[in-house]
Amino acid sequence: MATYKKRGYKPKTKAEKVEAIEEQSATAEVFKTLDESASKTEEWVAANQKYIFIVIGLVAIVVLGYLGYNKFIAEPKQEAAMNDMYHAQTMFNEAVSGTQKEKDSLFSLALNGSEGKFGLLDIITEYKGTPASNMSNYYAGMAYLQMKDYKNAVAFLSDYSADDEATAPIAKGGIGDAFVQLNQLEDALGYYEEAANMKSNDFTTPLYLHKAGTIALELGQAEKALKHFNTIKEEYPKSTEAASVDVFIGKAEALK
C-alpha cells in the first residue's frame, strides 16, 4: 500500500497525489481542536472570502486580457478558452456569493461545465500549457477546498504555478488549509510557512504567519510559534492579525 510521503516526495500525477494523501489521512489520528480564538480554516474562509475572490477576479481579468491580446491572435482556439474560462469563472463567482445550499451545485457547474461550455476540469485538459489551464488549476483547487474535498484541493492547487502577490501565496496557503482538515499538521505548517515567505505584504504575510504560529502551538513547537507571532507584531503592526497577536505570544511563551 502506498503511503503519503511528506515534503520531499513529489507524486507524478494527480491520481498519485490523491491516492497518497488518502492513505495517510485514513490512518491519521484526529488532533484536538485549536483554541477558539484561533479561527478554523472554514471560519477564516467565510470571513475573508469576499476580499480573496475580489483579488482572484482581478487576476482573472489580467489572464483573460492576456489571452485576448496575445493568444487570440497567435492561436485561434484560444477564443474558446476565453469563453469557457469566463463561463467557468462566472459560475465560480456565483458560488462564492451564493447561499450555502447553492454553493456545492454552483462549484460543481464551475468544475464540470454547463450550457454546452467547458468547466475548469475540461479547460485544464484541453488547453494544457496555457494561462487559462494554469489559472483553472487554481480555481479548481479553491472550489474543491470550499466543497471540503481536501484531497483534490491539494492536487489541483499543487499544479498551479504563479509568482504574483495574491494567488501564489493563497494557493500555498490553501494547500495548508486542506492539510489541516486532513489532520496532517506538520504538512500544513510547512505550506503555511512557505505561503508567508513567498511575498511580503500586509495581507497574506501576516495571515499565513498567524496560521503557521497557531499550528506550531498545536504541535508543541513554542519557539517557532513565538517567532511567527513576534514577526507579525514587529513587522505587520497594522494587520488584522496584529490586533490579537499578544494573546498568542503569551500562549507561546507559556509553553516554552
Q: Report residue 25's pLDDT band, with 50, 70 and 90 as the boundaries.
A: very low
Q: Report how far residue 227's alpha carbon sits from residue 222's, in angstroms, rounded to the nearest whole number.
A: 9
Query: What would the pLDDT profile of 184-213 be if each residue is shown by its tens digit?
Result: 999 999 999 999 999 999 999 999 999 999
C-alpha cell, 5 = 510521503
* Residue 61 reports pLDDT greater than 80: no
Higher pLDDT, 201 or 41: 201
- Close Cβ partners of 39 (under 8 Å, ≥ 6 residues apart): 47
Q: Crossing angle of helices 222-235/245-255, nearest 10°?
A: 150
pTM score, whole prediction: 0.73
Q: At residue 6, what are phi and psi to the nearest 5 degrees? A: -70, -170
Mean pLDDT to the nearest integer, 222-233: 97
For the chain, the residue count is 256
C-alpha cell, 185 = 499538521
